[in-house]
Structure formats: C-alpha cells, structure tokens
A and B are shown apart, each in its own frame.
Chain A
Amino acid sequence: MRNSNRLRFTKAGRAKYISHLDLMRTFQRAFLRAGIEITHTEGFNPHAFVSIPLPLSVGFSSQCEVLEFELRRGAELSEVPGRMNAVLPEGITVQKCYEAVKPVKALTYVNYIVTLEYENGAPFGAETAIRDLLSRESLVVLKKSKKAKSGQVEVDLIPLIAKFTVEGRRDTIALDLIIRAQNPGLNPELIVSAIREHCPEASPDYVAFHRKDVLDAQFQPWE
C-alpha cells in the first residue's frame, strides 16, 4: 500500500509525551472524528492506514512532524488542517496537508535544537568544551543495541553530524544540529551522553530536544 498525501504537524506541550504508536492511533481516530475518509488496511480489524516516517522520541517537541496517509473522500487537501485541528488533542497542530513531493528515502537530515539547561548558570568554558568535542576527528560512543551480543555497539558520532553551532546564554547552551536522519540515523541524546562523558563539567541539569526541520541531501526542506 502506498500513501501519497502528507500532513505536517507540530507536537508540543502535553502532547510531547504521546508515544509513536499512540500517536498513530490518535491520528486514526482523529480522521474518523473529522469525518475524513482515508485508506484502510484490510483484514478482520480494518483501521485507517497511516505512517510516520521518522518516529520522534517520547518527550521531544517538534514543529516538523510528517504523517503519511491517503485521502479517499470527505475533504479537500486544503480543508484537512482545519478539520483535523478541531478534533486533535492539545499540543498537536496540523500546519499543512499536501501531495508528497519527495520519497521517504530522500529524507536525509534532521535539524534539532538541543537546549542544555543549567540551574546555576552555564559553567564557564562549557560552550568551548562542547564545540571542541564536536569538532574532533572522531567521537566514538557506546550505543545500546538489541542485535549485538554485548547489548552495545560502537558508533562514531562525527560522520553523522553534518553541521552544528553552539551558542551559550546565561542559563543555557543551545546546540543547533543538522544530523543524519536515517540509514543510519542519529538520536541527539547520544550527543548529550557524549558531552556528559567527555566534558563532565558541561553536564546539563536538564535537556530539551526540539525538531525544527527535516531536510533532503541538499539541505533543502523535505516535503
């Protein structure tokens, strides 16, 4: 089955904690509530067929989530955002609905804003330490893996980070990262663990992760 329509939506506030699976269920029900008919799966328990190409970790916010579906009847593409927003839970907002332009495999990079928060102010030198760390030739960390015997595999983060900037403020350090989306992708949590491990003095008290954009191989918005 192929889906040719896409929704771009925001996931923020209380909705950040909805898991990937629950989010798909939420959308399936929301389509029904909105009276918008989309393609269904076959079988005993037919349900609306939707997919989300890049699952977002629980607790992350995002302004660029994409859901794929196939509109059958009940609405024009342009009406979909308004109809859906009336029936979605707090924190999920559909920005636009469009015909897919590029295939999922063209989705190459994700732009994340990772905000490191420090209760007693950002430590002196932390910003530089982080910048130096991310500028290394290679930065190998251990990552949990179900496939590996030891339960862990080694990953070099550097080749997976395409661009980054580090900007210190009084209580926070903001990392603007453009990292690989898939095959293999990089979870920005690994970057934060690397900071905790290699620059312990720069360890934040709390971290907020935000997805800002999804990009193709030429760093152009992926739609």
Chain B
Amino acid sequence: MNRSLERILPRVQKPARYTGGEYNAVVKDRRKVEVRYALCFPDTYEIGMSNLGVRILYGVMNNLPWCWCERVFAPWGDMEEEMRAEGLPLYGLESGDSIADFDLIGFSLGYEMAYTNVLNMLDLAGLPVRAEERHELSPIIVAGGTCAFNPEPLAPFVDIFSLGEGEDVSVELLELYRKAKGEGWEKEEFLQAAAQIPGLYVPSLYDISYHEDGTVAAITPRDGAPEVVTKRIVQDFNKSYFPVKTIVPSTEITQDKVTLEVFRGCIRGCRFCQAGYAYRPVRSRDPELLVKYGIEACKDSGYQEMTLSSLSTSDYRHLLKLCDGLLEWCEPEKVSLALPSLRADNFSMNLMHRLQHGKKSGLTFAPEAGTQRLRDAINKNVTEEEILQSCRTAFSGGWSSVKLYFMLGLPTETDEDVLGIADLAEKVYQAWRETTPEPRRGVRITVSTSFFVPKPHTAFQWEGQISMEEYQRRVKLLRDNMRGRSISYNWHDPDTSVLEAVFARGDRRVADVIEEAWRNGAKFDSWSEYFDFQRWQDAFASCGLSMDFYAARRRDKDEILPWDMISTGVRKAFLWREREQCYQNKITPDCRKQCTGCGADKLYPGGECDAE
C-alpha cells in the first residue's frame, strides 16, 4: 500500500472505503495489460458499490485479458482534504496507481446532482477539467448512464459519451483504443473514429449555435460524425453478462445484497418517467437462468439477502415461477428474498405475503398523483380501488405501516389534484380501520411528495417546471388539509429539484455554471451537508444565465432541443403525441396490451418487444 495513503487513513472516517482489496476485486499485472480503465462513480463508495451497472461493466471489461478495469469513487470531504494536503492524486482502488496515467477514465452518471463530483474527481486526479485542455490520447474521459441522454451540460468536460447499455459498446471502444494506442494515433484521430461506433457521441465534433432568445438554432456535426446518435441495447438479455462473481465489500454498503436484474425496459409508459422511455424495449431473462444466477451469486458472495430489480417487477411474466424457484433454495439456506417496485395489485400482494414470513416491514406505493384524472393524464395506470384493495389485504395480514409517494407540480395539476392526495391518505386510513386485526397497535401512514422535474426524452420534455413559490404553496395547501394523527407528511426540499430540472434539460452553456459553482466549492450536491443553493444562484448570475430559462420555460413543439442529436429509439413525434394525450386526460395502453408504435422496436432487429 502507498505510504502516504497509510498515513492519511488513520485520520479519516470509514477508511475501508479507500483501500480496495475486497473479496473478488480483480488484480492484474500492470505490465501485462495493454489498456487500463478507471471506472469512476461520482459519489461515495457505499453508493457506487451498490450500483449494478458498475458491477456489470467492471466484470465485462476485466473479462478482456488485455484490459484492467479498476474502481474509483468520490472521496468524502475529510479524505479529499488529506489527499490534497499530502499531494496524493486520485487512484484506482485495485492498484493504488494514479488514474491520471490510465488510458481511459469512465464516469457512470446516474443523477444530475453528481455533476460537480465529476469535475472534482478529474481535478483530484490532477487533470484539466476541460476536454480541450487535454491533448494526449490518454486519458480519454468517457461518460455513460441515464444522464448521458442529455450529455450537453457536461459536453465540454467529457471526450466521449456512451449511450444506453454499455456491455457491448464498451468492449468496442476498448478495442478501438487498443488499436489507436498500438499505432500511436493522435487524440483527434481516435475521437473521429470513435464517433463512427454506434452509440458513442463525441461532443467536440458537434457545433451548437443559438438564437438570440437563447434557444438552440442548429446542431452541426463535423468530420463525419452522425447527425443522430442512437443508444445501444443488449440484444439478447439471456446471453448478456451477469456478475455472478462480484466484489463483496468489506464494509457495509447501501445495497449489501445480491441483485438479480430480471428484465430491462418497462411496458408501462408513465409519461414523466425517463427510465420508462429510455430503456425500451422490454427484454427479459429466463426464470431458470435467473434462479441459477441467484443461487450461484449467493454461494459465491456469502450474501444472505437477494433482491429482484427492474423498473416494475410485477410485470415480469414468470414472476411466480421465479420466486418459487428461488425460494426453494433460499428458505432452507435462510436467505431472504426481497421484491421491490411491486404494483398495487392483488397478485403482487399475495406474493409479498408469502415472502415476508411474519416480518412486516413497511409497504410502499407510488400512486404519484392524488386523483384518477391526473393519474390518467400522466398515464400512471393504477386505480384508487387497486391501491385501497392492496392496503386492505396488507392491513388484514398484519401490516401497520404504509408509505405513499406522490409528485407535486405535474403538468395539468390543479388544487383539486393536490387535495386528492390528502383524500387518498384518509381513505387508506379508513381501510386500515375496517380491516386491521389489531386496532390498538395503530397505523403509520406516511405521505411523501417530491417536486416534479421534467426530463428529456419523456412526454414532458417540453413542459415548464412550476416555480418554487408555487410548489411551496401546494405543499402548504396539502399540509393544511392533511388530517389525523396517523398520517404524517414529508415533502422534498425544492432547491435541488430546481437545479436538477436545469441540468436535466440544460444545454452546453450550463457547463460554465457547473464549472463556476465547482470552483466555488460545490461538490456532493445530493448531500445536504454540502449543498448550498446560494452558491448555485451566484454561479448562474456570474455566467449570465437564468435558471428559469432551463427549468421553468415551456418549450415549443418545433424548438430544437439541446439533446436532439441523441435518440433513445423512441421517436420525438411519439413523445409529443403522448403529451397531447396527457392534456386530454387520455391513457395509452401498455406495450403488452397494444403496441402504440414508439419506435423502440427498431433497435431490436428480428426481436419482438416484451417477448414471452
């Protein structure tokens, strides 16, 4: 271990985050590999290690004998301070080597509020944050993940964005790099060649011009870069890599368990949901394969907890078969199985009942909106009766705590919709009174509201976010009408949601604001310990940009959107039609009932969306 690291570690909190050396961490001989990759997650070790995508890419890249992929997480403030004081640059956990000397540095972007950490990590590595100031072939900065679907706010910092699922395209990129390194290419030559690989967006090859009013006038590709870059998907999900042998952290992380990814995509089409559109089409894994993976992963790791993961687990066609298969092994082995993101239907409730074995942890539903009218408008296809019926089943089975999640500020929301949330909570309470076998134990109903953030590549990508004042008025309205001691109400602080709205639909100019705020100390913006809204307001002011322009403004149908060079496979015209359906309170059937022609099937030649 590095000597300066040894000196620092006794002085920082949770030092085991910074050492590597965990079971199944991949250590290779640095002299025998040709390409070294730093897989960076711009948040803490505990959060980054809980990310399945990181584990998949780590396995895929390390399966290449000539490549060594190492992990890097954002050091917490105390560690950063020590590293800067000691002159210890950001290093890969496996080797302890400085990542500035690696060939590629890739960031996984899961949420916008981590953007400043990307800059901070580049700086901690001793690298210039702007791509134009890095002239050599190494290191190349890559970024992928959900946020890459609007890459523009980070465009000046990143050399290549990888769109969609990374399993295949990462290997193609590494192969190209290996060739470029072997033949001694210039960085520019490499970037131009990378832009020819489907799914890779090289922002420096696109010129963006603006109208006087600040909207985008034109997006012009250069040097043969494609006009539109379409995301990549794994064609055969049954054949795609699953991390059976995966790192077992020696310190507790957020999701300390085996995660079984059941399917990708979602059949539902909730109009606000970026993941629901961006991960289309649905591709699932065979239940037999999943059972095998689950058992092997538990045996290899020693984990005694397993969870199924997907956007909407209840929609998996073979859920019962899968659970039976897993439970047959799990029960005697005393491994617990969790099923998150279940729908509020009877089938799911019964299943949950079976899984919990008398352990009655909280029940969670996300109706998102308080009235049926608004739920129809956002295409959240769940009825009040379904929610209440599920609650009744749960309460009569002995559950005594329910969490209900909603959004405030959804398009077309009126005060009636806001009050509908209080109404629904009250009805859930009545349902408990009617059905509980233990009225003396009482019930806890928790209502939480978040502040709706319009996301790119959704039906609401043209919408304005309501103002902070209006959000607070609606929170107050709801709070004043929420009655009963058994119902508690939490609401999300609006500051970060406004910034999230700015970054989600920002253009390239927003990069200046991010850099300015970071230079003034912004980092870990998703952590209240660090977040400072004033710092961001100052950064916008000094860059001459307005938050409202990005967050609150409603876009026209014909406006060129900053992310128009990126395609998720879902056509813009389809999204617009979905928006219009919203304003008519009309629902769109899910993909299983009827294909409504979003266009994502084109990503899947020869395949069928949501096949049996």
Contacts and interface: CB of A to CB of B under 8 A. Distances in A.
Given A13-B1, A91-B21, 19 more contacts: A17-B15, A18-B250, A19-B16, A19-B251, A22-B252, A26-B250, A30-B302, A33-B23, A33-B302, A45-B336, A58-B10, A59-B15, A87-B302, A89-B21, A89-B22, A89-B23, A89-B248, A90-B22, A90-B25
B301 interface: yes
Nearest to B252: A22
B9 A29 contact: no
A139 interface: no
A170 B177 CA distance: 49
23 contacts: A13-B21, A14-B1, A15-B250, A17-B9, A18-B251, A22-B252, A26-B23, A29-B248, A29-B303, A32-B302, A32-B304, A33-B300, A33-B301, A33-B302, A40-B334, A44-B359, A46-B334, A58-B16, A59-B10, A89-B250, A90-B22, A91-B21, A206-B7
Contact of B20 (A14, A28, A45): A14
B16 A17 contact: yes
Q: A interface, how many residues as a size bin? A: 20 to 34
A31 interface: yes
Q: Which residue, of A13, A14, A58, has the highest number of chain B Cβ atoms within 10 A?
A: A14
A187 to B, nearest CB: 13
Contacts of B51: none
Interface string A87-123: 1111100000000000000000000000000000000
Contacts, number: 70
Contact of B302 (A31, A44, A45, A91): A31
B9 A90 contact: no
A206 B3 CA distance: 11
Contacts of A18: 16, 250-251
A25 interface: yes
B510 to A, nearest CB: 39
A47 interface: yes
B9 A59 contact: yes
A58 B334 CA distance: 31
Interface string A68-89: 0000000000000000000111
Interface of A: 13-15, 17-19, 22-23, 25-26, 28-33, 40, 44-47, 58-59, 87-91, 206
B366 to A, nearest CB: 27
Nearest to B7: A206
A133 to B, nearest CB: 23
A47 to B, nearest CB: 7
Nearest to B3: A206
Contact of B21 (A14, A19, A31): A14
Nearest to B16: A17
Interface of B: 1, 7, 9-10, 15-16, 18-23, 25, 248, 250-252, 299-304, 334, 336, 357-359
A44 B358 contact: yes
A42 to B, nearest CB: 11
B21 A15 contact: yes
Contacts of B248: 29, 89
A22 B21 CA distance: 14
Contacts of B301: 29, 33
A108 to B, nearest CB: 27
Contacts of B303: 29
Closest 9 interchain pairs by CB? Answer: A29-B302, A14-B21, A90-B21, A32-B302, A17-B15, A14-B19, A33-B302, A59-B10, A17-B16
B14 to A, nearest CB: 8
Contacts of A28: 302
A91 B6 CA distance: 14
A31 B301 CA distance: 10
Contacts of B10: 58-59
Given A29-B302, A59-B15, A22 B250 contact: yes
Given A17-B9, A22-B252, A26-B250, A58 B15 contact: yes
Nearest to A40: B334
A28 B304 CA distance: 10
Contact of B299 (A14, A31, A33): A33
Contacts of B9: 17, 59
A95 to B, nearest CB: 19
B534 to A, nearest CB: 36
Contacts of A88: 23
B5 to A, nearest CB: 10
A46 B299 CA distance: 17
Contacts of A23: 250
B23 A17 contact: no
A49 to B, nearest CB: 13
Contacts of B18: 17
B122 to A, nearest CB: 25
A33 B358 CA distance: 28
A26 B303 CA distance: 10
A84 to B, nearest CB: 11
A47 B335 CA distance: 10
Contacts of A59: 9-10, 15
A22 B359 contact: no
A19 B9 CA distance: 13
A46 B19 CA distance: 30
